[in-house]
Structure 1
């Protein structure tokens, strides 16, 4: 089949496409017309194959030899400065096996389900404190005051980083991840500077470990396991950069969108108030419906074929995770509807969506993200009652993260029993 560009479809790698939220209807139109399309790109100048079929995305993700992350990185951007390109090339997300495997083996041994479960009491206390800080006011800016707090605090605590430094990391990760949005980052140079700040901090942590080894995630990465030697300082610095950025922004994003969807569906919110044991399943629906990472790139390493389309060596391939998670063929005729009870009739929902990717780059922090979401909503849902939007939802202009940068809300102020009696 020849390369015939679909000029009548919206450009799915233009950051402006997502500046006002996810274009669900346009994605449905593309998805329903086929699992793969050859697209023109007037913003970056490089045409690409847009893949929206789950079978095709799975096959591409599981074959890094043929579909490389490393050749031109996993990011869609074509015009990063040289210094940023150098940073990207050293991050695990932009590596292929075998270079990619060393850090993954160590992290897999560190973030086992049993190890992550041991964090629950600490995370739950943090979640309680976060809600305590806003509950009596009856209003908050949900993103920064609630959603952003636990993911950042958790990853920094697990890395042995003092709580007083978390504000710096919040600003640095915003600038790195959302450099396409001028309201969050001045320009590419700001993203570069923020990256260097995190790198500088990582080097300090590595030096501290040499003098005083600690039994935390930083120690595990640098010390290694019985089967795998630890990361070198350079390897650690690059991995730390990705760990902080991705671990923070992704959970913050799905938590914010989850709250937005509950406010838009108050009947479903009440169902969870009455059935708190259903919150874990509801979190899977939040992950499915508003996947944190929008899309990732692969580069074809030789001529090949996908679903009857001839893909030339060097071709740019874009896997769109958001639309594959709304596929009616997988999730049913109501796939484009948000339903916190979906997991009750689809028990393997957690395994069917692609919110955490699939294959060689399947997210190693899945257990951590799920725990953070669950304990956060188990505190939010019973205590922040009858929440409503109190202003415009401001979305980030990004083709990487489906973020929300501002979401003011109101809710019933929490009254303590002693105050009520008085």
Structure 2
């Protein structure tokens, strides 16, 4: 077992003050695959922190299953796995996974996503318009959360007037470990139930007045000659909602934090706005939205010099891999917006969206939202600085920021 003097990677307190960069480096120094105890659940696990090993696990679903115990890093009762979590694409193995993924993929093709750019930019301008003259804002809810939530709700066919309710539901579902974000695990389950009921109402609405969006793509599709059940649709609805909302909000928030911590790099983007697109890869690398996912070994196998037994819990720690010195060099722990100038294939080396069959289907959508938001933020919120301490989310799953109060100069006062 690991003897490192740091907290369990599956303890939410480990991340309550932000990402434990040094602790993750200590794990990487032990090897690409490290056995760690989890005294909270009593289920020990293998932390995969080497890129080669993470890629091997991700690309071999027959050896490392997402379905057996889900792809989520937490522990669930087996009956919950079999009755509930099996309905979401992230917890499927081949061949069912590819069949369902093919349905969803059509809604996220680069061509279709690129067509959203004018609408996204209009939303982004409105978001900045609401705060720019004040010289201060709570960045997470007022800026970072807005476009991802509006975008995914529009793609799902949810009216914009319901977005505040969904913001609260997704927070409650995702952050049940954080006492500031949810009352209890039960509150998260209640919020999920509310989302399911909403999804079922949306399905009924589609039957009366057909839509042309992700909702219709799911409801009108067939898998093995059968329509997707309303239960499957409801859980897919939740997964797409959370994946398309929380993740991008998190990266925008951390991106702003990093720019404030490195004002010289921010000024570089102010002077060279054409470099913002390339800078997105480094923002994605440095603070991944989803910290880690799970797989379950289906047979005895050697991985990274370790003997893995059938049934063992495997944790794919994307954040640790994204800071690997072996991949990104001796300065992997440093934030450098110009890294892509030295590493032209940086976007292919980061694992922020995973890799293999479960590579994030909405990655193109997320990149577009990030690009649009930072192209609007950087020239308008000048000289941004923290007003109070950052409040990080107590979660070992989503690398979130709860709130981040900032002050800034408007473009007019800066000029």
- Please tell me the TM-score bracket, short chain as reference: over 0.9
Aligned mate of 2:118, from 102, 121, 124: 121
User: Are 1:66 and 2:63 an aligned pair?
Assistant: yes
Preserved CA contact (<8 Å) 1:83 1:192: no
Aligned mate of 1:28, from 25, 29, 37: 25
Partners of 1:351 and 1:264 lie apart in 2 by: 26
Partners of 1:126 and 1:96 lie apart in 2 by: 37
Matching residue of 1:245? 242
User: Are 1:207 and 2:204 an aligned pair?
Assistant: yes
Q: CA deviation at 1:348?
A: 1.2
* Local SS of the residue matching 1:199: helix
Preserved CA contact (<8 Å) 1:6 1:37: no
Task: Spell out, residue by residue over 1:51-84, the C-alpha distance to the aligned partner (whole angstroms, 9 max, x if none).
Answer: 1000000000111111111111112222569668
Preserved CA contact (<8 Å) 1:136 1:415: no
Partners of 2:221 and 2:275 lie apart in 1 by: 38
TM-score with structure 2 length normalisation?
Answer: 0.96
Aligned mate of 2:179, from 179, 182, 191: 182
Task: Spell out, residue by residue over 1:234-259, the C-alpha distance to the aligned partner (whole angstroms, 9 max, x if none).
Answer: 22111111000111000000000000
* Local SS of the residue matching 1:392: coil
Matching residue of 2:277? 280
Q: CA deviation at 1:224?
A: 3.1
Preserved CA contact (<8 Å) 2:4 2:26: no
User: Are 1:100 and 2:92 an aligned pair?
Assistant: no
Preserved CA contact (<8 Å) 2:222 2:228: no
Aligned mate of 2:331, from 334, 349, 355: 334
Matching residue of 1:270? 267
Partners of 2:190 and 2:281 lie apart in 1 by: 35
Matching residue of 1:401? 398
User: Are 1:361 and 2:367 an aligned pair?
Assistant: no
Partners of 1:114 and 1:11 lie apart in 2 by: 42
Partners of 1:91 and 1:279 lie apart in 2 by: 34
Cα 1:273/1:157, change in 2 over 3 Å: same
Partners of 1:228 and 1:383 lie apart in 2 by: 52
User: Are 1:198 and 2:200 an aligned pair?
Assistant: no
Structure 1 unmatched runs, 5+: none
Task: Spell out, residue by residue over 1:104-157, the C-alpha distance to the aligned partner (whole angstroms, 9 max, x if none).
Answer: 101212211111000000000000000000000000000000000000000111
Structure 2 unmatched runs, 5+: none
Partners of 2:84 and 2:234 lie apart in 1 by: 10
Partners of 2:11 and 2:65 lie apart in 1 by: 22
Q: CA deviation at 1:221?
A: 1.8
Q: CA deviation at 1:179?
A: 0.8
CA RMSD, aligned part only? 2.0
How many residue pairs align between the two structures?
Answer: 415
Cα 1:83/1:229, change in 2 over 3 Å: closer
Partners of 2:16 and 2:256 lie apart in 1 by: 19
Preserved CA contact (<8 Å) 1:7 1:39: no
* Local SS of the residue matching 1:385: strand
Preserved CA contact (<8 Å) 1:223 1:229: no
Aligned mate of 1:348, from 345, 348, 367: 345
User: Are 1:90 and 2:87 an aligned pair?
Assistant: yes
Preserved CA contact (<8 Å) 2:65 2:93: yes
Preserved CA contact (<8 Å) 1:9 1:30: no
Q: CA deviation at 1:397?
A: 0.5
Q: CA deviation at 1:287?
A: 0.3
Task: Spell out, residue by residue over 1:4-52, the C-alpha distance to the aligned partner (whole angstroms, 9 max, x if none).
Answer: 4435453111111000000001101111221011111111111111110
